[in-house]
């Protein structure tokens, strides 16, 4: 299944979640996501991931439990590692992530894939 790769299949779909983060932290770009911003991004990532995975699961044998586990893993880990400035750059550049974001996405994707999509 090509949708499951080292990078997140839903990376372009969660930009709507970033709006709240950008508005909450307009000046604190080096700050980690916390509180409602972290919750908002996690929720948006989770919803986008599940939607993308289910849209592309035909013939994959993936169960809802596996999809939910993978998506929860990627969403939670990503939101906990992102900084506000990265989310701002992502949002304002129409989904062009920083080098750190791409490396982080690849690493987290591999970790979560190994744990939930065996």
The model carries a pTM of: 0.74
Between helix 35-55 and helix 15-24 the angle, nearest 10°, is 170
Instruction: Convert the pLDDT of each residue in 11-49 to its tens digit.
Output: 444 444 444 444 444 545 678 888 998 999 999 999 999
Q: Where are the alpha helices (DSSP H) in the chain?
A: 15-24, 35-55, 64-81, 84-92, 99-116
Instruction: Convert the pLDDT of each residue in 62-109 to its tens digit.
Output: 999 999 999 999 999 999 999 888 888 888 888 888 898 999 999 999
């Amino acid at each position: 299944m090509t949708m499951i790769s080292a990078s997140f299949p839903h990376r372009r779909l969660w930009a709507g979640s970033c709006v709240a983060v950008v508005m909450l932290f307009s000046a604190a770009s080096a700050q980690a996501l916390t509180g409602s911003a972290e919750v908002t991004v996690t929720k948006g990532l989770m919803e986008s991931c599940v939607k993308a995975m289910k849209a592309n699961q035909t013939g994959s044998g993936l169960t809802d439990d596996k999809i939910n586990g993978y998506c929860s893993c990627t969403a939670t880990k990503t939101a906990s590692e992102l900084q506000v400035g990265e989310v701002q750059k992502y949002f304002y550049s129409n989904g062009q992530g920083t080098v750190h974001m791409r490396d982080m996405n690849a690493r987290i994707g591999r970790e979560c894939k190994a744990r939930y999509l065996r």
